[in-house]
Amino acid sequence: MYVSTSLDGRLADANGGLDWLTNTAVDGDAGYDRLMGEIDTLIMGRTTYDYVIDHSDTYPYKNLNSIVLTHHDIAAADGVQPYQGDVVTLVDQLRQKSGKAIWIVGGGEIVGALIQAELIDDLRLFVAPAFLGAGPKLWQPGEQAKNFELVNVSRAGQLAELDYRVRNK
């Protein structure tokens, strides 16, 4: 998992905006190129997909197997596959196939379900120096405790990168 959050664990502000993140000074690409070399599939929720489509001239992930979790029809971009089933079942099926890693693109409910099902191996968490107070959370209440091992801490400008691996897996 490769995701950015605010200091209070928010994925976006109360209006779904990311100005707090896009206005954060970053050195280099914050490991993005490395990530793109490690994955061949990405999974995102409908809200994230809509944001990407609304803020991009062209779909930026057309070279990847892109899956959008949705309960509604979508106008799919190049190579995007809508999926209306359970994310745990989907990821379990994808992991049985040969290929590279899967990138879970945001979505606290998605992340929570996959952590609980022990289908997330690594967390690459970028923390921006902003406290939002409201907006969608990465971590959902009621999840069972899970333990992670801190593998690396680094800095990309004003972003703190925290790399974790699931412990006892």
Q: Where are the beta strands (DSSP E) in 64-121?
A: 65-69, 80-83, 101-105
Q: What is the pLDDT of residues 102-143, one digit of tens each?
A: 999 868 888 888 888 889 888 899 999 999 999 999 887 776
112 is a domain residue: yes
CATH number of the domain enclosing 106? 3.40.430.10
Give Cα 165 distance to the centre of its chain.
15
In a domain, 24, yes or no: no
For residue 109, the SS3 value is: helix
Which strands make up the sheet holding 39-45, listed edge to edge? 80-83, 65-69, 39-45, 101-105
Residue at 140 is within a domain? yes
CA distance 99 to 40: 7
* Amino acid 143: pLDDT: 66
**Domain tally, the chain:** 1
- How far apart are alpha carbons 124 and 31 in whole angstroms? 9
Question: How far is Cα 102 from Cα 43, in angstroms, rounded to an integer?
Answer: 7
Burial of 23 (0-12, 13-18, 19+ CB in 10 A): exposed
Which residues form the domain of 145? 2-14+29-166
Query: What is the rounded distance in angstroms from the CA atom of residue 51 to the CA atom of residue 119?
Result: 25
Determine whether 149 is exposed, middle or buried from the number of CB atoms within 10 Å of its CB (0-12, 13-18, 19+): exposed
Per-residue pLDDT, 76: 66
Residue 107 covered by a domain: yes
Looking at the domain assignment, is residue 64 inside a domain?
A: yes
Question: CA-to-CA distance for 70 and 46, rounded, in angstroms?
Answer: 5
Best CA proximity match to 6, nearest among 111, 140, 159, 114: 159
The pTM assigned to this predicted structure is 0.86
Query: Domain for residue 19, yes or no?
Result: no
Tell me, yes or no, whether 22 lies in a domain.
no
Q: What parts of the chain have a pLDDT lower than 50?
A: none
The pLDDT value recorded for residue 44 is: 92
Note the pLDDT of residue 54.
87
Q: What is the pLDDT of residue 168?
A: 65
